[in-house]
Structures are given as structure tokens and as C-alpha cells.
Amino acid sequence: MAATDTTRTAATGAALGFSTLDREVRLDTLPVEGVLPPWLAGSLLRTGPAQFEAGDQKLNHWFDGLAMLHRFSFEGGRVSYANRFLHSRAYRAVQETGKLGYGEFATDPCRSLFGRVTSMFRPHFSDNGAVNVSRVDDEFIAMTETPLPVVFDPETLEAAGVAYEAPGHLSTAHPHHDPQSGELLNYAAKLGPRSTYRFYGQRSREEQRPIASIPVRKPAYVHSFGLTDRFLILAEGPFVVDPMRLATGGRPYIENYTWEPERGGRFHVVDRATGEVRGPYVSDPFFTFHHINAFEDGGSLVVDLCAYEDASIIDALYLDRLRGGGDVPSVRARRFTIDLDGGTVSSRDLYDGNFELPRIAYRTHNGRPYRYAYGIGGEGTWASRVVKLDVQDGTGTHWAADGCFPGEPVFVPEPGAEVEDAGVLLSVVLDAARGTSFLLVLDSGDLSELARAEVPHHIPFSFHGQFFRA
């Protein structure tokens, strides 16, 4: 492809990938090209923004879009598909009034100063679960960065209200599952005159336990955190907020944060058994959305992140820029090594290329030494390839196709396999030329294409999903 053709295709794909999907379908069979592994049985559940308007108001940022759930189910070599808007109270408010009823990431309803201050201390949270899906006990939940995950039925995709409330004003949509306790481990930030970072465990709707609390004057934007067998790891980039500015600033949520590189990066390390906090361990400044993995190495703690040089990625993800095919900042898989007793932090890049939306062999290698990570990459514009990264030697294997834009590759291990990378990757891919999307199935060993299942419409670029076995 010539450079001008590539740029034109990227702009077309971006415009389509960030446009509203208003079609909801339930299809018993999708046309499949190729052959699916006979052992692949279960459902890929995903969430992501799919409506970028609230009546006449255009939403500002990719993260603001109203959530839609997608289900791809596998059985006997066949694939079924369904999609449905997440009927959260945020979604219902838009449908009933034609207006945004709750503040989102970078779009806010008009409110008086009194209303803003009141909402700080008696929060009016959105429950627009457009970031990730998970499971607590036997319930499936859609999550965003507010403390209100929404329960939904994995078959019908029907929402069933808020599951529980996290212990703070902000939370993450990237909890960890503890295989020993069965808990969902997560983080929340409680904002106020004395703000705190809080780690907690959630076993069911009713069972929530505190693990640790860390005082903080200016909380950082935190999208995910790290986990090992012994530790919880909170990585703070210097993108921070004065809590009172959120109440009185008169700006949408994320626009109250400021980049203060002189603070450096900071790592807080929490003992999971005792709640004891070590650190902060200070590094060069960075910004991150996603942890890749973490593990202990003697007296050191290894933390792998998708690291940006600064927080300019936030501005790059405003919809007007994305739809214009604008460039996005570089992001690197970066390894931070923390000397827990000596207090020093060193870092190095693991791969010479962009790497985001990371996944690993979670059940066998999360919190432990590992070799392979999977993500998306590309240069300059929107992600154009699936990347398999060997974190030991820094090499990458790629899948790409002209005019196609893959999403997060979800790793599904082959049952009974003892090799770390034995399985498949599932990625929802936008085909810009055809104006539709397909589910891509790759061999996770060499990224050879095994199959694809065609969807009759485009699926807007989304964030995260999980595979649940039948």
C-alpha cells in the first residue's frame, strides 16, 4: 500500500470505528471462514462505547461513549453473536430525556457550582460500564472507572442493576481474581480533604473487606494495578488532581488533572496478607493505562507496564482528533525493577514498537515469571496489527491485513496444554474497506490465522473483554 493509501484507510477506519452503532441483533450462526479448534467452547463477552451522542449533544471523548455488550459464543465449530446496549441508569437517562444525565470521562452535564460541590460529597456517579467485564461470585458485571459495576445476564445481555459499591469515588475496571480466596481484588480512590488510595476484596455483593489504605494529597489517575502472590502494586504516574478542583473547577472530570513530571513515577507496594505498605519507590515520570504483569525476583519486584512518556494520550483520544485520523503517542512495553530493600527503581523497554491492550496467560502466569504477552500495535495512527511479544528476548510476531484494525487479543488457553502460549487469540477486527467487523481467531503460537466469523455491521473500537468457558 502506498503511504497516501495507508493514511486514507486509517482515517476511514478511525471515522467508522468511532461512529455510533445503533443496531442490536441476536444471530444463532455467523458465517465462518476457516476452521475453529474443536476444544473452543464458551463465550467471549466484551464491552465498549457504541453511542457517541446524547440527543443533540456530541460526546467529547472515546471514553464517554455509552456502553454496548457483545457476546460471541462457540460450540461445535459454530459461532453465535448478540449485542445489546448496557441498560444502565446512565443509558436510560439519555433515552428518556435526550440528554446526558451523568458526568462521563470528558463530557459533563451543565451544573451549577452548588451542584458540582454537592456531587463531590454526595456523588452522582455514572454506571456506564464501557471499559471491562468480569465476574463476582456467579454474577457477571460490566465496569467503568466509577464505583458502580452493573450486573448483566451473559446470555441475554440484559442488565440487572448495580452489583455493589466500591469504597471510594473512583475505581478501576481491571480487578484481579484471587484463585485462592475466590475474591475480586480491586482499588478505589476516596477523595476529599484527606484522600486515600484503598485496596479491597469483593467476594460477593454483600462481602467486601478492606486490605490497605494509603493517604495521598493529590491522587493520580489510576487505570489498573499490579499483582503478585505476595503484593499489590500501585503505579502512580504524575498525572494528578486536587480533589477540591473536581468540586469547584467547572470542568469535566479528566480535564481537572495536571501533568507534574517533577513528581516522578511512584510505586506503592502492599503486602496482601498484612496490609503493610512499602514505598513509595520513585522512578522517572511515565503515564500508563495498563499493567502487563508483575512478579518477584529475589529481593526485587518486576513490574511490566504499557508506558507513555507523558499524559498526552488523553488528549489524543478526543473523538474529533481520532475521527480525523490523527496520530497517537508512542507506547512501549516497559519493565520497572524495584529493589525493595535498597529503594531504587530501574527501567528498560522490552520491545522496540508500540504495544497496548496487553493480555497474558492469566490463569497460569499472572503475578509470576512469564515469557509471552499479546497486544495491539502499529505506528503513528490507529493500531493496525496484533503483536505477540517475547518479553525475554524482545522480539515480536505480528498479524496484520490491509485496511483492518484489530482490537484487544484475548488469550484462550488450550485445555490441558502445558506450554505457556498454547491456545488461541480472539480479536474483534474492523474491516474499513467493507465497513463491517469480524471476529479473528489466531493460533497464539505463531499468529497464523485459523478462522474468522463475519458480523453484519461494524463494531466500534472497544476496550476489553473476557472469555468464559462453557
- Give the HSE-up count for residue 77: Cα atoms under 13 Å, Cβ half-sphere: 4
Portion of the chain with pLDDT greater than 90, in percent: 88
pTM assigned to the model: 0.94
> CB-based contacts of 316: which residues, under 8 Å, 6+ apart?
322, 326, 327, 328, 329
- 8 pLDDT tier (thresholds 50, 70, 90): low
Sheet strand arrangement including 42-51: 26-27, 78-85, 66-75, 42-51, 464-469
Q: Beta partners for 283? A: 265
- Mean pLDDT for the stretch of residues 68-97: 97
Alpha carbons 104 and 58: distance in angstroms, whole number? 12
> What would the pLDDT profile of 213-234 be if each residue is shown by its tens digit?
999 999 999 999 999 999 999 9
Alpha carbons 104 and 59: distance in angstroms, whole number? 9
- 324 pLDDT tier (thresholds 50, 70, 90): confident
Considering the chain, what is the average pLDDT of its residues?
A: 93
> CB-based contacts of 71: which residues, under 8 Å, 6+ apart?
43, 44, 45, 46, 80, 81, 82, 83, 154, 155, 157
> What would the pLDDT profile of 377-432 be if each residue is shown by its tens digit?
987 667 899 999 999 999 999 999 999 999 999 999 999 999 999 999 999 999 99
> What would the pLDDT profile of 27-44 be if each residue is shown by its tens digit?
999 999 999 999 999 999
